[in-house]
Structure 1
Amino acid sequence: MIHLSVNVNKVATLRNSRGGNHPDLLAISELILKAGAHGITVHPREDERHIKKQDVFDLKVFLQKYNEKNKTRIEYNIEGEPSARFLDLVLEAKPDQATLVPVTPGEITSDHGFDLKKEKTSLTEYIKKIQAAGIRVSIFMETDPENLQLVRSTGADRVEFYTGPYAHAFDESPEKGKKIFETFRLAAEFLEKEKIGINAGHDLDQYNLPLFASLPGLQEVSIGHRLMSYALEVGIQKAVEVYLQAISKAG
């Protein structure tokens, strides 16, 4: 089964635009989980423009209570750059998974994967420290074969594919999307041979998910912006249900 982890950054962005606690991040997260999502993802940036440090810990407590009450195994995924700041946050919050993402100052959103030919040494040190705390580590990557050949030497448990190029091609036409998907399929087959888990995320939606969900070895998709945008039309619970249905139509 491919798990859907919903990124709630946009809920925090809306809340922060007015101050106060509307919308309530925890209440929306509960609706997301009641609709069937398997996890919650946050990306607490240094400028706290959406998820704040306190949100990270509030969600941790909320998910613990939710799992105990409902006898579930909802996963908590925290994304962020390899830095002392993020390392301290992860080691204190102890999520189920930490996803390391390269961050460019001033970027609107994550728009590229790691270049391991340049960043492997420093990245490996962060991975070791996080794993020593019993936390699974995923690293944000593109499909470049030379880079992927270096993943095993970092010690990462999983790769999260940056799916922006696929989604944007699919927006133009399904046929263009299929051509880009082929590069992901080849990359996934390589990672499977290496016994490295596969996650994916960025602009996946109900239209491009059925094809992408057929990716060999895909274990989890992390989706925020497009799901939340769709939720403005149909409601958050309906949006989650539609995305889950799209994932189940893999092929």
Structure 2
Amino acid sequence: MVHLSVNVNKIATLRNSRGGNHPDLIYLSKLILDSGAHGITVHPREDERHIRKKDVFDLREFFVLYNRDKKNKIEYNMEGEPSPRFLDLVLEAKPDQATLVPVTPGEITSDHGFDLKKDSSELKTYIRRIQNAGIRVSIFMETDLENLKLVKDTGADRVEFYTGPYAHAFDQSPEEGKKAFESFRKAAEFLQAQKIGINAGHDLDHFNLPLFSSLPGLEEVSIGHRLMSYALEVGLEAAVKEYLKTLT
């Protein structure tokens, strides 16, 4: 089964819009995990517009307690740019996985993967430092095969596919989604041959996941915005369970 890691940035965004602690990030993270999700993802940006530094460590403490006596360990995934700031945060918080993502100042959300012809040298340094702390590293990538040929040299354990193009094509029609899926399938088969793990995320939902979950070698999807939007209609527990159904 493909694992579901729920990105809780949107919960923090709502909380921050009013101040205080409503909605409660820890309480809702527990609800998400009790509903069957396999992990929690956060993207602590420098401007703290959603996840704050304190949240990172509050969640770390929560995970330690939650995982006691659990047969199946729940994972903590932290996303962020390759920078001294994010590296220090990762090394202190010690998540199970760090997902390195290229960040453009002022962007609303992540909207592209790394260009390894430009970024590989810098990434290697961060990947090595994080892995030396016993943390798995994934890097955010698109499906260009020439670019993916350089992944192995970085030492990354996994690639997280930026799935925006697939999701947007599927929004037009399932047929367009199937066409877009082909580039991901070819890219995944290449990575499998390289023995590199595969994650995915960005605008995946309960409509487009049934097809995408058939991707060869897919281990984990990280989903936030669309799952939270759906939760406004059906409730958070029901939304998580519906997404899990599409991954079985």
Q: Scaled by the length of structure 2, what TM-score is found?
A: 0.99
Kindly report the root-mean-square deviation, in angstroms, between the aligned alpha carbons of the 2 structures: 0.6
**Greater CA deviation, 62-71 or 86-95?**
62-71
Alignment of 1:74-223 (within 5 A): 74-223=74-223
**Matching residue of 2:246:** 246
Give, in angstroms, the shift of residue 117 of structure 1.
0.7
Contact conserved, 1:101 with 1:140, CA < 8 A, in 2?
Answer: yes
Q: Which amino acid aligns with 1:50?
A: H
Contact conserved, 1:169 with 1:180, CA < 8 A, in 2?
Answer: yes
Give, in angstroms, the shift of residue 70 of structure 1.
4.1
DSSP-derived class of the 1:199 partner: strand
State the distance in 2 between where 1:158 and 1:70 align: 25
**Matching residue of 2:19:** 19
Runs of 4+ residues deviating >2 angstroms: 69-72
Aligned length, in residue pairs: 248
**Matching residue of 1:47:** 47
Q: Which amino acid aligns with 2:53?
A: K
Q: Gapped runs of 5+ residues in structure 1?
A: none
Give, in angstroms, the shift of residue 72 of structure 1.
3.8
DSSP-derived class of the 1:17 partner: helix
Give, in angstroms, the shift of residue 69 of structure 1.
5.0
Contact conserved, 1:66 with 1:72, CA < 8 A, in 2?
Answer: no
DSSP-derived class of the 1:77 partner: strand
Question: Aligned residues: percent identity?
Answer: 77
Give, in angstroms, the shift of residue 247 of structure 1.
1.3
State the distance in 1 between where 2:196 and 2:70 align: 31
Q: Which amino acid aligns with 1:34?
A: D
State the distance in 1 between where 2:28 and 2:72 align: 18
Give, in angstroms, the shift of residue 246 of structure 1.
1.0
Question: 1:44-84: CA deviations, max 9, x gaps?
Answer: 00000000000000000101101115444000000000000
**Matching residue of 1:68:** 68
Contact conserved, 1:44 with 1:56, CA < 8 A, in 2?
Answer: yes
Q: Gapped runs of 5+ residues in structure 2?
A: none
State the distance in 1 between where 2:96 and 2:108 align: 26
Contact conserved, 1:138 with 1:157, CA < 8 A, in 2?
Answer: yes
Contact conserved, 1:43 with 1:51, CA < 8 A, in 2?
Answer: yes
